[in-house]
Amino acid sequence: MKPQTLWKVSLVLWGLGLLFSSGASAYELTGQDWTYQTSPMGEDWSVCTSSMPSSGSARTKDGAYEWNYSFFTFTFGADFTGCSSYPNYDGTNQADYGSGLGASTLAETTWYYTISTGDILECDMRFSNTFTWYTGTGTPASNQYDWWSVAAHEMGHCLGLAHEPDITTPKPVMYPTFAAGEVRRVLTSDDTAGRNAIYGAACASLAFASKAPSLVASLPAAIWLALPILFVAAWKLSLKRKKGAADGRSGRM
């Protein structure tokens, strides 16, 4: 092999390496979104406040509003009681408070979408009632989980973002785990870049306006699919498990 050929090969490999490394360190998309709508998200959420901690509804809205900009807006109808089951494809984007999530899951978002197009049709969200929540706007105590931060994360899933585990300084809203006492309410540049990758950058209104809505109504109703993504409190719980294991080795039961 001529030296010139070797140089070309090594350049190609270096280029591939750059591609892979940059792909692993940026926002992740779910592949489903609301871009088929003229003004995403185009329909209200409703918070079911039955048994929900006081101000849980207000902090759910605060979390959602973090994402709002020219090309995507979360909006809310009136709060209500008498929640439907979670999740439930019933035409209401419902956020509620209840049981049935995993032991280490703080909250969960389920979205229904058309498989062939990735058009999201409905989101449902549940906050687990097995944790101690902070629903204020200040600083949570070390044993409290910040509702506002978790709401911002869950709403990111509804918008079309998956978890971003690779960036830690600072951790994006879409980072997959969350500790008690932590606050992560404000979008980082990675969160914003992910949102803008789906719905458009704020300065590119002409490019965004050229997107045409696709034909959701013509697709058969049998192809809806629920796809839950969990926001887990793995950090705190893994500490608990480690402590338990140490107790076991010292002979205590």
**Contacting residues toward Zn ion, per CB under 5 A:** 229, 231
Least distance to Zn ion from the beta carbon of 175, Å? Answer: 9
Nearer to Zn ion, 179 or 201 (CB): 179
Angle of helix 147-159 versus helix 189-199 axis, rounded to 10 = 30
Task: Give the whole-angstrom CA distance, residue 120 versus residue 132.
Answer: 31
Least distance to Zn ion from the beta carbon of 219, Å? Answer: 27
Interior angle at CA 103, CA 99 and CA 107, nearest 5: 60
Nearer to Zn ion, 36 or 178 (CB): 178
Nearer to Zn ion, 112 or 231 (CB): 231
Least distance to Zn ion from the beta carbon of 147, Å? Answer: 15
Residue with the shortest CB distance to Zn ion: 231
Least distance to Zn ion from the beta carbon of 176, Å? Answer: 6
Least distance to Zn ion from the beta carbon of 229, Å? Answer: 5
Nearer to Zn ion, 35 or 105 (CB): 105
Nearer to Zn ion, 36 or 64 (CB): 64
